[in-house]
Amino acid sequence: MSPSDLQILIDKNRDWAAQVVARDPQFFRNLSQQQRPAYLWIGCADSRIPATQVTGMAPGEIFVHRNVANVVVHTDLNCLSVIQYAVEVLRVKTIVVCGHYGCGGVHAALHDASHGLIDNWLRHIQDVAEKYREPLAAIEDRAARWDRLCELNVIEQVVNVCQTTVLQQAWRRGQEVSVHGCIYGVHDGLLRDLEVSISGAAEIMPRFRQAVALLETPSPLRSPTS
């Protein structure tokens, strides 16, 4: 009899935990005392981009929120609660919004594909596509246009994080916390900095405009399919 799907997870967990303890006998005991992550990661739910693994970090080092297409919506209590807890309680120093090339959610939004309930969620990305309709339409290659919307979506979500009351209040009281945008290549396993790093309210719009303008500069690493 083949092991059940759940049993596969449990067996692999036992192996993993044993390996960790073999390397560091105190690892889980230390981690059970508290978590003190320096990072908050807001990424896509895509199974190919586990935050801790792709950054080579260990459990305890990254606080993670993931949803379809790494969207930060101002009324999403789930995402807002994660940001609030990360900033005010865990006092993370660095927030990374990480999108990825080949994002299915972005693709569905770009091509008006219908997948049921999720269409309502992806509507937020269609809003981004609508906002950049002209520059996107100017990109003839479909794959390159998809890449670009993946990039623009990250930059827009970075701005959304910065505009939450949590970040606004943190900066007002002088707390050091910065927000960044990265995009991951599922084809090569590499993260690219989209150069939209913001560490204060006054930086939001200048950095946002610079980052969007920078997308027009050709970069072989940044736009893999163009």
Residues classed as catalytic:
44, 46, 48, 100, 103
Nearer to Co ion, 87 or 125 (CB): 125
Closest approach of Cβ 97 to Co ion, in Å? 12
Count of residues touching Co ion (by CB under 5 A): 4
Nearer to Co ion, 100 or 222 (CB): 100
Closest approach of Cβ 46 to Co ion, in Å? 4
Nearer to Co ion, 44 or 83 (CB): 44
Residue written as token pair 């609508």: 130
Distance (Å, rounded) from C-alpha 25 to C-alpha 20?
Answer: 8
Give the x/- contact pattern for Co ion in 22-61, rule: CB under 5 A: ----------------------x-x---------------
149 part of the interface to Co ion, by CB under 5 A? no
Three-class DSSP category at 226: coil
Give the x/- contact pattern for Co ion in 179-208, rule: CB under 5 A: ------------------------------
Q: Is the alpha carbon torsion for 63, 53, 103, 10 positive or negative?
A: negative
Residue 178 pairs in a beta bridge with 94
Q: Count CB atoms within 10 A of the CB of residue 10.
A: 10
**Cβ atoms of residues 165 and 88 within 8 Å:** no
Closest approach of Cβ 99 to Co ion, in Å? 7
In the region spanning residues 72 to 111, those forming contacts with Co ion, defined by CB under 5 A, are 103, 105
Cα first-last separation, the chain: 48
Nearer to Co ion, 103 or 211 (CB): 103
Nearer to Co ion, 95 or 106 (CB): 106
Three-class DSSP category at 197: coil
Distance (Å, rounded) from C-alpha 46 to C-alpha 53?
Answer: 13
Closest approach of Cβ 106 to Co ion, in Å? 7
Closest approach of Cβ 52 to Co ion, in Å? 17
Q: Which of 112, 116, 107 is nearest to 153 (CA)?
A: 107
H helix and E strand count, the chain: 10, 5
Residues engaged in binding Co ion (CB under 5 A): 44, 46, 103, 105
